[in-house]
Amino acid sequence: MASQSEEQRASLPFEPSNKRKKKHKTTTGSDAQAEPQSSPETQRKAQASLSAIPEGVSQRMVRRMAFFSGIPTSLGILSFFIFYWIVSQELLELPPYTVVLVSMGLFGLGVLGLSYGLISASWDEQRHGTLLGWNEFTTNLKRIFAAWRSARQQPREE
């Protein structure tokens, strides 16, 4: 059971590789002629295909981002009309900074919703995850921090 999760984890996108092998190249004249040299463009395309986000995961991320960002952003836009209606009907006397604070708060929640929608999506193609995605969020956040740590330690090791 544990080997399946390790195997599945190794196939996930964005996963940091903990066991990087250092390549020591010692080529002689005959070895250099025997091995075909790949062009930088070919290497770049191969790297892009390895780091590309699968289509199913990408669509899941977009849906979650639209939901978690769209609702607060729509409410932020709607708040302008609501405050205008309240003031024009003289229901309440609102200071102008109330409109600014409420709309800025809702737009800020929209920005946070973009990040949460991206990170709370399941990065595994076969697993869709939960409705709110809290378990996926915590798992993916750990993966992001692990990738940052390995990226920081990589230049030190070389």
Domains of the chain by residue range: 54-158
Residue 132: per-residue pLDDT: 86
Cα–Cα distance, 140 to 126 (Å, whole number): 16
Least confident piece of the model among 21-25, 84-88, 108-112, 127-131: 21-25
The predicted-structure confidence for 133-157, as pLDDT tens digits, reads as follows 899 999 989 999 998 988 888 766 6
pLDDT over threshold 80, residue 5: no
pTM exceeds cut of 0.75: no
